[in-house]
Amino acid sequence: MSSTGLEAVFLSNRDRLLAFLRAHGAGDAAEDLLQELWIKLSAAPSGPIAQPLSYLYRAANNLMLDRYRSQVQATKRDHDWTEAATTLPGQSDEPSSDRRLIAREQLRLALAALDMLGERPAAIFRRHRIDGVGQRDIAAEFGVSLSTVESDLRRAYRALIELRNSFDEG
């Protein structure tokens, strides 16, 4: 059956498909789902379909399930976001003084680890990761090859990963 044949079956059974969607929980979204089904049918490649009405019911049901799953996921995401972003009464969003001291110390150690690599690797790392400058632009700025920039960045990343691992162990 060609897509025009499938579209003809769709049009002649539109009310039945709409009733099917409503009866299976689509509610107010039934018209939207039917419209989405029509758009998908119009865009789908043509080909023979043995049982076009069954195909349409299955496609409508799949659209309804997709929409339901999407809504469940959106609700869960919104709930998780609200839970994560909500401050409890009597608690501050500010980190504790202990966490601030630890963070300052870790920053000091990270800066020291970068400085131990030498002036150029530390500067290249800062230009790329902090200032957001591309590696080619950094190479031109420092008058070095792109492979030198990449090498310096690898050295900096390795030093910081080793430092982070020491934090995890300690």
110-119 confidence digits (pLDDT tens): 999 999 999 9
Q: Looking at the predicted structure, is the pLDDT value of residue 2 above 60?
A: no
Give the CATH number for residue 148: 1.10.10.10
Mean pLDDT of the chain: 88
pLDDT at 126 over 90: yes
Instruction: Indicate the residue among 83, 115, 148 that finishes a domain.
Output: 83
Residue 88 has pLDDT above 90, yes or no: no
20 closest CA partner among 52, 47, 59: 59
Average pLDDT over residues 52-62: 91
Identify whether 125 is part of a domain.
Answer: yes
Cα–Cα distance list, 35 to 24, 55, 79 (Å)? 17, 16, 30
Q: Give the domain range for residue 18.
A: 3-83
Q: What is the pLDDT of residue 167?
A: 85
**Which of residues 143 and 8 earns the better pLDDT score?**
143
159 domain-assigned: yes
